């Protein structure tokens, strides 16, 4: 029976290994925990319109991650990593509110700063997709409506939506045009102290080094019946940003049904291009309803990043980064040819993960592994024990060796 036992044991060991791997996670990043705290407008003495800064401090064992969600002008999410567990944000409110942005936001001690980056949402494009191609890069300029400049939007007070226990906040804004009379563009930010997964699709996997943004466009009146939207992002980084977005294949679509890809735009140290300092990660899918179902998914695509000569139009980003810092921009276009236009549901949402270090990778869920283990293990065990049982039974029936002739 030895020949049966060996592979069975091997397979079970392998399955056990997979199970342990998936449930506990072997690489240290996923198990890393941080102490997260959130504050609004740190150090601001008297409330002031146009302040709009949420600060998340995520303290690890010997480092700190600062996330800054900024609603002054174009909305932005900044990430600053320091190698000190006591680093702090220092803001010169008077200078900032007077319009002297440069140098008014610092993370001290400045020598502890290892990496910093910012993601800014600068423009919302709308175009009239008469021929249903969903390919704005190849459309004539006349198909485009004037874009919504997000730096001109007025943003709701963060105080009303901030949730200090969940470390989340929602930022909604609109401009004065009739299109936004009943509609708004919103960003929901969440910070995390440990590994987990978003509750609603696309259910991105996060860890202690990441935070999530969900962007949605609710009830905006489109300017044509065939309107589709695209979003312009700009990114500033203290490290070298890749000139392209990596699109990786992902076997596992359990948490984002029918999506087998994950896109990530990473920053690397300029001397070692394979190491990853920070990333923006998303699944190439947007959803057309607030409580998405399978059929509400619509693909999204990204353009290649291009270099921009000046800092993005966001007050706090200009306050932190110096002029001349490398800035890149790309567009995310929602929907593909044949998919319904915006006016069918008047809703569009898209989620991204912003974080430090290598982006989290999906692995098979324990349930999937258990089903496969039981499914493959049971027939093998049956063959093993059934074979042994049958051998014994047969031996009992026909005793071996020569029987006496008489």
Partner 1 sequence: MAGRGEDENLITEGDSLSGQDNGSAGARSMPAICDPSHWSHRIVVLSFMCFLGFGSYFCYDNPAALQTQVIQDMKLNTSGFMQLYAWYSWPNVVLCFLGGFLLDRVFGIRLGTIIFATFVLVGQIIFAGGALAGRFWLMEVGRFVFGIGGESLAVAQNTYAVNWFKGKELNLVFGLQLSMARLGSTVNMNIMGWVYDSIKDLVGSAGPTTLGIALMIGASTCLLSLTSALVLGYLDRRAERILNKEEGKTGEVIKLTDVKDFPLQLWLIFIICVCYYVAIFPFIGLGQVFFIEKFDFSPAEARAINSVVYIISAPASPVLGFIVDRTGKNVLWVAFAIVGTLAAHMMLAFTFWTPWIAMCLMGGTYSLLACALWPMVSFVVPEHQLGTAYGFMQSIQNLGLALIAMAAGSILDNRGYLFLEVFFCACICMALIAAVMLYFVDLLRGGDLNLSAAARARLLKSVSTDSE
**Of 362, 144, 319, 321, which is closest to residue 232 (Cα–Cα)?**
144
- Answer for the pair 215, 187: CB distance below 8 angstroms, yes or no: yes
Q: Give the CB-side neighbour count of residue 79, counting CA atoms within 13 A.
A: 27
Given the structure tokens 């690489």, which residue do they identify? Answer: 27
Q: Can you tell me the distance from the alpha carbon of 231 to that of 274, in angstroms, rounded to the nearest whole number?
A: 28
Task: Single out the residue of 81, 79, 61 nearest to residue 70, CA to CA.
Answer: 79
CB of 295 to partner 1, least distance (A): 5
Rank residues 132 and 156 by Cβ distance to partner 1 and give the closer one.
Answer: 132
Of the pair 129, 232, the CB lying nearest partner 1 is at 129
Which stretches of the chain bind partner 1, using CB under 8 A?
249, 251-260, 293-295, 338, 364, 368, 371-372, 374-376, 378-379, 382-383, 386, 389-390, 393
Q: List the structure tokens of 26.
A: 């072997």
Neighbours of 22 (CB within 10 A): 17
To partner 1, the closest distance from the beta carbon of 339 in angstroms equals: 9
At its nearest, how many Å lie between partner 1 and the CB of residue 198? 15
Whole-number Å distance between alpha carbons of 313 and 202: 29
Q: Nearer Cβ to partner 1, position 146 or 375?
A: 375
Of residues 46 and 249, the one with the C-beta less far from partner 1? 249
Q: How far apart are CB 394 and partner 1 at their closest, in Å?
A: 8
236's CB contacts (< 8 A; 6+ apart) are 117, 118, 120, 311, 312, 317, 321, 325, 326, 327
Residue with Cβ nearer partner 1 (248 or 307):
248
Give the residue from 304, 160, 156 showing the smallest Cα distance to 233. 304
Phi, psi of 143 (to 5 degrees): -75, -20
CB 209 within 8 A of CB 223: no
Q: How far is the CB of 346 from partner 1 (least distance, A)?
A: 16
Q: What are phi and psi of 11, to 5 degrees?
A: -65, -45
Closest CA to 288 of 346, 223, 226: 346
β partners of residue 108: 88
In terms of CB distance, is 237 or 335 closer to partner 1? Answer: 335
> In the complex with partner 1, which residue's Cβ is closer, 243 or 386?
386
CB-nearer residue toward partner 1: 117 or 363:
363
Min dist. Cβ of residue 289 to partner 1 (A): 12
Residues contacting 24, CB < 8 A, separation 6+: 31
Nearest distance, CB of residue 253 and partner 1, angstroms: 4
- For partner 1, the closer of residues 259 and 308 by Cβ is 259
Min. distance of Cβ 387 from partner 1 in angstroms?
A: 8
Nearest by Cα to 119 from 284, 258, 317, 271: 317
Residue 18 — φ and ψ, nearest 5°? -60, -45
Residue 372 beta carbon to partner 1: minimum distance, rounded to whole angstroms:
6
């Amino acid at each position: 029976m030895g020949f049966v036992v060996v592979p069975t044991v091997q397979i079970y060991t392998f399955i056990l290994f997979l199970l342990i791997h998936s449930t506990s996670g072997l690489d240290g990043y996923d198990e890393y925990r941080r102490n997260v705290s959130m504050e609004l407008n740190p150090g601001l003495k008297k409330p002031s319109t146009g302040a709009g800064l949420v600060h998340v401090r995520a303290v690890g064992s010997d480092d700190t991650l600062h996330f800054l969600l900024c609603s002054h002008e174009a909305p932005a999410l900044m990430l600053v990593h320091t190698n000190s567990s006591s680093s702090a944000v220092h803001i010169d409110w008077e200078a900032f509110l007077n319009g002297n942005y440069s140098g008014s936001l610092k993370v001290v001690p400045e020598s502890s700063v290892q990496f910093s980056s910012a993601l800014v949402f600068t423009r919302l494009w709308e175009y009239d997709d008469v021929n249903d191609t969903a390919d704005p890069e190849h459309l004539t300029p006349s198909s485009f409506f004037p874009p919504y400049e997000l730096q001109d939007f007025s943003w709701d007070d963060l105080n009303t939506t901030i949730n200090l226990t969940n470390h989340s906040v929602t930022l909604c804004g609109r401009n004065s045009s009739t299109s936004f009379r009943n509609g708004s563009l919103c960003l929901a930010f969440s910070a995390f102290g440990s590994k987990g997964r978003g509750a609603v699709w696309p259910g991105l996997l996060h860890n202690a080094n990441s935070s999530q943004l969900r962007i949605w466009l609710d009830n905006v009146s489109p300017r044509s019946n065939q309107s589709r939207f695209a979003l312009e992002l700009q990114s500033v980084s203290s490290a070298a940003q890749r000139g392209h977005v990596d699109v990786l294949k992902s076997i596992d679509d359990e948490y984002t049904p029918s999506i087998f890809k994950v896109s990530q735009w990473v920053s690397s140290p300029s001397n070692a291009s394979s190491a990853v300092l920070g990333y923006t990660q998303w699944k190439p899918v947007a959803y057309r309803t607030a409580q998405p179902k399978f059929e509400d998914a619509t693909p999204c695509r990204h353009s290649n990043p291009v270099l921009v000569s000046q800092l993005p139009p966001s007050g706090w980003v200009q306050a932190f980064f110096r002029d001349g810092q490398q800035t890149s921009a790309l567009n995310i276009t929602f929907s593909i040819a044949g998919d319904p236009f915006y006016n069918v549901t008047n809703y569009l949402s898209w989620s991204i993960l912003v974080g430090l270090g290598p982006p989290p990778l999906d692995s098979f869920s324990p349930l999937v592994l258990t089903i496969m283990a039981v499914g493959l293990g049971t027939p093998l065990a049956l063959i093993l024990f059934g074979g042994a049982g049958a051998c014994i039974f047969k031996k009992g029936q026909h005793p071996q060796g020569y029987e006496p002739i008489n």
